Structure 1
Amino acid sequence: MDSVTQILLGSAVGYATLGNKLGRKSLLVGAAFGTLPDLDVLINFGGDVENFVYHRSFSHSLIIQLLLSPLIAWLIAKMHWTKSVSLTRWSVAIFLIMGTHALLDTFTVYGTQLLWPVSNYPFGISSVFIIDPMYSLPLLLAFIALCFTRLQPYATKINTAALVLSSLYLTWSLAAKWHIDNKIQHALTNKMIAFKQFESTPSPFNTLLWRAVATTEQGHYEIYASIFDSVNEVDIRFYKTENHVLNLLDDDQRIALLQNFTKGLYGVYQQEQSYVFSDLRMGLEGFYVFSFEIAKPFENNIELSDFRQLQNRPPLNRASLVFKRITDPYVNLSLIHTE
């Protein structure tokens, strides 16, 4: 999730575990440790591909967090203002703050390596968008309320209510995803479309309109479906890709990393004088957030490129169409023509 939401969640968990001992200071403690796992973005893992794949690895591992929490607690306990909290309670609080950060990230599609180094599998439920105001709003309102002294008698109830409401929203997102996946599967079956890999993700800022990708040997289908769509109103469009190019390239660890991390949901495109590897899970056709230049034509062959990440974000001026599409199945969200 976005950094602001993680700060708010960390503050709420911090207050739930430390509030009766530290008061409003627990909000700051929660905000700090709720941010800590995402500081791995400051680390250069060796290149654009490695930075993409290894983000949310060791710093988001529940195993590493469990091992580090007592050490961090021991260091914190040396400060004078922390003496009112036992070492055990500090350890539990820190683990819960960082652990809920990692668990919340698994609800997005990116991929979170919860069991690193035992496993580098990127867990991703893909039931909420990386920024979702409906999840964050209860936590934000509670954070603001807890900053006012006159509301302190009700602070615990306010904080608990915010955590319950935000958790209920995550539960709703799982139900919505099940409903959408079922609807899309019926639509694909009706059109006799077979596929290899499939994933659905919420469209930006909501869980009412969903985008899905279904891959085949020749390309992939980009699919839009609203909670309110009938099966026949699900929008399915096919796009050809050049994935066979990967067979012409020498083995390279970076290609294997990308294939595994995207769970097979990728497309290779020829753009001008280069071949581009795109993660189909994030963005939309023609504008994928994580795209890397992997190769270039050379004489009568193809040679590996530098795997630099391309700036290819979707245009913001079409964001309003997302909300129109929720209730109107005739709104076209495609930016390029199908073949």
Structure 2
Amino acid sequence: MDSLSQIVLGAAVGEVVLGRRIGNRAMIWGAVAGTIPDMDVLGKFFLDELDNLGFHRGISHSLLFSFVGAVAFGWATDRLYRSRHHAWIAMGTKAAAAIVIGFVVNFLMMILAPGTWLPLVAYIPTVAWFWWRNGQKRYFSGTWQAPNASMRAWMALFFWGFVTHILLDCFTTYGTQIFAPFSNLRVALGTISVADPLYTIPFLVCLLVAARFAPSDRRRAVWNWAGLGLSSAYLALTVVNYQRVHST
């Protein structure tokens, strides 16, 4: 599906895996995990149109990548936080999150006001200023601590972030090569549009509300699971609707 939907799903999954231990950082890394498979869109800069069509939703959307990628990114994230340069790594994480949010802003503006660049132009310096000011105060004051998560926990976060991304894409019409590189079969259930606000918006609202509560607050989990439940229920309804339409 669209980038925003995958970011929201990844953040919610990250919260389920590590939210109680590392708080909102679980959502941030979950959002990153939900975005990584779609980085195959960069292939359009190196491949011709036909090859890029085959590459998109290929190996990066496979079950094999979910396992191998989870090990690689989980190991890398664990090593990054154990580095003596952890403060700068934290700043880098914030920058990555800001870039992801920038993609979301750009995506929304493409829908609401195509051709309008002013919000994105205003967003970049504002976020850059906040990133530096907040980072100096928080990460270089001597009180910052690395997240309490093991390498195995990081691997689990990336694994579930990748798997749920792939499964969600299977419900669209484009087709997802989940068995690559062993098969080029594209799984395309075709029950939901690539961008569906009825799936994404309630999910996003629940996630934002959940993020406002402390990791130990039960309401945080309730709101996060509410978002997952609503989106999953809507997805199930699209399957039912698809079956009804094609049975008549």
Give the structure-2-normalised TM-score.
0.70
Q: Please say if 1:178 is aligned against 2:179.
A: no
**Aligned residue in 1 for 2:78:** 77
Distance 2:49 2:149 in 1: 42
Distance 2:11 2:39 in 1: 17
CA displacement, residues 87-114 of structure 1 (integer Å, 9 cap, x when unaligned): 2222111110011011100000001000
Helix, strand or coil at the partner of 1:122: coil
Aligned 8 A contact 1:77 1:83 in 2: no
Structure 2 counterpart of 1:3, one-letter code: S
Q: Please say if 1:27 is aligned against 2:27.
A: yes
Q: Please say if 1:98 is aligned against 2:99.
A: no
**Aligned residue in 2 for 1:18:** 18
Helix, strand or coil at the partner of 1:77: helix
**Aligned residue in 2 for 1:58:** 59
**Aligned residue in 1 for 2:115:** none
Q: What's the offset of the Cα at 1:161?
A: 1.3
Q: How does 1:198-209 map to 2 (within 5 A)?
A: none
Aligned 8 A contact 2:8 2:31 in 1: yes
Q: 2:202 aligns with which of 138, 143, 151?
A: 138
**Aligned residue in 1 for 2:220:** 155
Distance 1:31 1:90 in 2: 13
Distance 1:83 1:140 in 2: 24
**Structure 2 regions of 5+ residues with no counterpart?**
83-144
- Point out the more displaced range, 8-17 or 41-50: 41-50
**Aligned residue in 1 for 2:113:** none
**Aligned residue in 1 for 2:43:** 43
Distance 1:82 1:34 in 2: 22
Aligned 8 A contact 1:139 1:166 in 2: yes
Aligned 8 A contact 1:76 1:82 in 2: no
**Aligned residue in 1 for 2:133:** none
Distance 2:169 2:13 in 1: 15
Structure 1 counterpart of 2:65, one-letter code: I
Q: What's the offset of the Cα at 1:53?
A: 2.1
Distance 2:195 2:72 in 1: 32
Q: Any runs of at least 4 consecutive aligned residues in structure 1 with deviations exceeding 3 A, and if so which?
A: 80-83, 149-153
**Aligned residue in 2 for 1:6:** 6
Q: What's the offset of the Cα at 1:83?
A: 5.2
Distance 2:68 2:36 in 1: 15
Q: What's the offset of the Cα at 1:4?
A: 0.5
Q: Please say if 1:168 is aligned against 2:169.
A: no
Distance 1:17 1:141 in 2: 20
Distance 1:150 1:95 in 2: 25
Q: How does 1:1-339 map to 2 (within 5 A)?
A: 1-44=1-44, 46-78=47-79, 79-80=81-82, 84-149=148-213, 152-183=217-248
Aligned 8 A contact 1:24 1:146 in 2: no
Helix, strand or coil at the partner of 1:43: helix
Structure 2 counterpart of 1:156, one-letter code: A
Structure 2 counterpart of 1:144, one-letter code: L
Q: What's the offset of the Cα at 1:138?
A: 2.6
Bigger fraction of residues in helix: 2
Q: What's the offset of the Cα at 1:128?
A: 0.3
Distance 2:52 2:233 in 1: 33
Aligned 8 A contact 2:23 2:214 in 1: no
- Larger relative CO (CA 8 A, sep 6+): 1 or 2? 2
